[in-house]
Amino acid sequence: MNAYSSSAAQAVDYSARQLQDHLRQALPALENRRQVAPLKQFESIDAVVAELKPSEPIFCIAPQKIRDAAAGFLSFPGRALYAVKCNPHPVVLETLYGAGVTDFDVASLDEVRLIDSLFGAAGGKFFNNPAKTRPAIQAASQQYGIRFYTADCVEEIDKIVEETGDTSDLIIAVRLATRGNEARYVLSTKFGAQPDEAVRLLQHLNGRGIKAGISFHVGSQCLRPRAFHDAVELAGKVAANADVELRVLNVGGGFPAPYPGDDVAGHEHYFGQIARAVRSIGLPRSCIVLCEPGRALVATSGTTVVQVVMRRGQNLFLNDGVFGTLQELGHPKERRPVRLIRNGNRAPANGMDFKIWGPTCDSNDVLGAPFQLPGDVREGDWIEIGMMGAYSLSMRTHFNGFFADQIVQIGA
Ligand SMILES: *Cc1c(COP(=O)(O)O)cnc(C)c1O
């Protein structure tokens, strides 16, 4: 008989206070907190174009959209962290923090430093990359006081234990590979232990006296709420088979953004599936439920404003592309709301499909889906590409000498 075989649905300590205490204990005072440099602020995208007439791509951040998205996660049955890789701009992080998302999923020492420079020890840090270097673990543990890690094999668990030294308040989550997927981007082929292996890893942790958890990621832009239910159930089975009491259940990210063409259920359906599954596996009271969305918190807050460099028939060549902020749009299923902003006054024309190319000399610098735009689009016009807040700024490269680095703010 263990905590999981009890059929009585126990109340879970959703408040995660314990975790907060755990994270906040005995860490250095907030020193040298970095002030975020304010961005130039505009009332609207049209105001940006009217004032700047930009010939370089402009990335616009609307903090209010971030606050709205963060408010949506207040009804998550547990605690929401933010996956920093999705958009690490300091204004984004600061806005999330102000909106109550004060814990962060970090994958590298640079992300650790970024969060620490902004929020000090008050910014919770979860080092969830299942493959970390020894110096990164050492610094994370000794300089930044991180006690929460993720692993998907014995070797990494042992490495974490060796490099962190003291295991007394360490929590290690076993990353579990999830099955079947209706997500656009699968995140279980690189990382994640199969269930039988996960059982062994939990027992390994338990044997070493380390607090154990389970984490998973059902894949990014997951369009099926039930996927979370199935993954939580699988986690419950793994924990029951291991006969190990979970301290943390981290259901990852994957909550979708409402992109055009995607049939997206409201996040409350996802939360409902998670809450139901958490009850059905009878998590122990002391287990903390976490999620770590990226996309769902920031997608709607970003807009890329591009200019048409050249039109050749039905081909438009823009000043930003897949090596810039439009990386995700290389995928044929990725669609975003687009709007033409004419350079000069012309009567509106009927819409038609245009093939969209980026500015570099690489033939791969092309978007996977056409843009529908008025047929009179021409060189010098601007295009507003909405819902670009996720995996855009963080994916830019300097390839071919192009780097989209003008960032402004829309609204307060
Ligand atoms: C990328 C990532 C996330 C965020 O995923 P979204 O699909 O953007 O919500 C969360 N957790 C981990 C471990 C990740 O790698």
299-410 domain in CATH 2.40.37.10? yes
CATH of 3-37+64-297, one of 3.30.70.1560, 1.10.150.120, 3.20.20.10, 3.30.2310.20: 3.20.20.10
Closest CA to 40 of 59, 67, 66, 65: 59
pLDDT (0 to 100) of residue 391: 98
Within this chain, domains 3-37+64-297 and 299-410 share the same CATH topology: no
pLDDT (0 to 100) of residue 31: 54
C-beta of residue 411 within 8 angstroms of C-beta of residue 46: no
Ligand 1 atom nearest to 296, measured from its CA: 9
Query: Which of 103, 187, 216, 388 is the pocket-test mutation for ligand 1 (most atoms within 8 Å of CB)?
Result: 187
Work out the number of other CB atoms within 10 angstroms of the CB of residue 240: 16
Round to whole Å and give the CA distance between 226 and 218. Answer: 10
pLDDT (0 to 100) of residue 29: 46
pLDDT (0 to 100) of residue 183: 82
What residues in the chain have per-residue pLDDT under 50?
Answer: 1-17, 24-29
pLDDT (0 to 100) of residue 32: 61
Q: How far is the CA of 325 from the centre of ligand 1 (A)?
A: 18
Work out the number of other CB atoms within 10 angstroms of the CB of residue 5: 10
pLDDT (0 to 100) of residue 25: 42
Delimit the domains of the chain by residue range.
Answer: 3-37+64-297, 299-410
Round to whole Å and give the CA distance between 128 and 213. Answer: 12
pTM: 0.92
Query: Which of 220, 300, 334 is the pocket-test mutation for ligand 1 (most atoms within 8 Å of CB)?
Result: 220
Ligand 1 atom nearest to 86, measured from its CA: 8
**Ligand 1 pocket at CB < 6 A:** 83, 85-86, 105, 128, 187, 217, 220, 252-255, 292-296
CA distances from 364 to 34, 101, 332, 371 (A): 39, 37, 13, 17
pLDDT (0 to 100) of residue 400: 97
Q: How far is the CA of 257 from the centre of ligand 1 (A)?
A: 13
Radius of gyration of the chain (CA): 23
pLDDT (0 to 100) of residue 19: 55
